[in-house]
């Protein structure tokens, strides 16, 4: 224990923005199985939004972009295919991409059972290796926000490459109001088995705020019975209409409209989310 405590104390110090923790942990076999359960829970807005919100989002995107049967749509960070399957049911040609193999396998199984022709790819969407062009590219539920600046720049460059002329990039980001409402984590708990590990472990939750840069961090230090320490970090970049517009312009996009979410709620300065429809410059 004497060897662990100095390491834990060091981890409680505020890290530099976007300092990584455990690499690409959403593909960890245990964590990804736990995450899939959260995705599929219809009663909470956690890994995915509730089914009624997903239904409204899909219909709003189809109506707003005037998408037609056989239009091509790419769903980045598709998870278990909750949006992709609905778009496919509307007649679109859908490609879904996610780094979690567990979620992709579930999505493939669901598509097979329901006779949906969806091209699911197990891939880190930052790399975005696809051969076709798309009428619309989606990145839904704030998945743009955890990326560091270089990753966001790379993603925008790749999205411009795979969009057809006139194609749209649709995504949403959080504002500082979101953090004000939910606050920073600062707690601990011990469990026999939980989200992070299948065996007994202690979890130290801590939140760090970087108000000058509109960044915040949820950090989870997990200590197993063996003494092994793992650090999981979820970084989030918050935005205003001005900052997301500037970043998109630098990435080769023009903002066509801003919303309070991706169901068509009008944008409000005190809202927690900004929904964006952007086109290539």
**What CATH number does residue 257 fall under?**
3.40.50.150
| 184 confidence band (pLDDT: 50, 70, 90) | confident
Q: What is the mean pLDDT of residues 154-170?
A: 97
| 62 within some domain | yes
The total number of structural domains in the chain stands at 1
| 214 within some domain | no
Lowest-pLDDT range, 42-46, 175-179, 209-213, 276-280?
42-46
| 2 within some domain | no
pTM: 0.93
Averaged confidence pLDDT in the chain: 94
| 12 within some domain | no
Residues 64-95: pLDDT tens digits?
999 999 999 999 999 999 999 999 999 999 99
Tell me, what's the pLDDT at 86?
A: 98
Expressed as residue numbers, the domain containing 123 is 32-175+239-280
| 103 within some domain | yes
Q: Among 147, 142, 126, 176, which Cα is nearest to 20's? A: 147
| 41 within some domain | yes
| 12 confidence band (pLDDT: 50, 70, 90) | confident
| 186 within some domain | no
Q: Could you tell me the sign of the dihedral formed by the alpha carbons of 76, 81, 86, 91, in that order?
A: positive
Please state, in angstroms and rounded to a whole number, the distance separating the CA atoms of residues 216 and 174. Answer: 11
Tell me, what's the pLDDT at 45?
A: 78
What values do phi and psi take at 78, rounded to 5? -70, -15
| 211 within some domain | no
Tell me, what's the pLDDT at 196?
A: 96
123: left (phi over 0), alpha (psi -120 to 50) or beta: beta
């Amino acid at each position: 224990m004497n060897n662990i405590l100095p390491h834990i104390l060091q981890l409680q110090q505020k890290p530099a923005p976007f300092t990584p923790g455990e690499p690409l942990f959403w593909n960890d076999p245990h964590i990804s199985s736990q995450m899939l359960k959260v995705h599929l829970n219809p009663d909470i807005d956690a890994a995915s939004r509730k089914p009624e919100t997903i239904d409204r989002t899909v219909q709003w995107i189809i109506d707003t972009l005037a998408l037609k049967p056989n239009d091509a749509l790419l769903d980045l960070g598709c998870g278990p295919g909750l949006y992709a399957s609905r778009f496919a049911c509307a007649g679109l040609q859908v490609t879904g991409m996610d780094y979690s193999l567990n979620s992709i396998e579930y999505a493939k199984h669901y598509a097979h059972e329901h006779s949906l022709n969806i091209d699911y790819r197990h891939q880190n969407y930052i790399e975005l290796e696809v051969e076709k062009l798309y009428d619309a590219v989606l990145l839904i539920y704030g998945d743009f926000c955890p990326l560091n600046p270089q990753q966001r720049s790379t993603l925008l460059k790749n999205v411009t490459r795979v969009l057809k002329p006139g194609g749209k990039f649709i995504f949403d980001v959080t504002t500082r109001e979101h953090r004000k409402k939910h606050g920073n984590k600062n707690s601990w708990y011990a469990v026999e088995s939980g989200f992070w590990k299948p065996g007994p472990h202690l979890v130290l939750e801590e939140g760090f705020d970087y108000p000058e840069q509109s960044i915040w961090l949820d950090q989870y230090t997990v200590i197993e019975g063996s003494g092994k320490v793992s650090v999981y970090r979820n970084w989030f970049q918050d935005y205003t209409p001005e900052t997301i517009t500037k970043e998109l312009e630098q990435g080769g996009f023009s903002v066509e409209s801003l919303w309070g979410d991706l169901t068509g709620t009008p944008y409000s300065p005190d809202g927690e989310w900004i929904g964006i429809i952007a086109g290539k410059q």
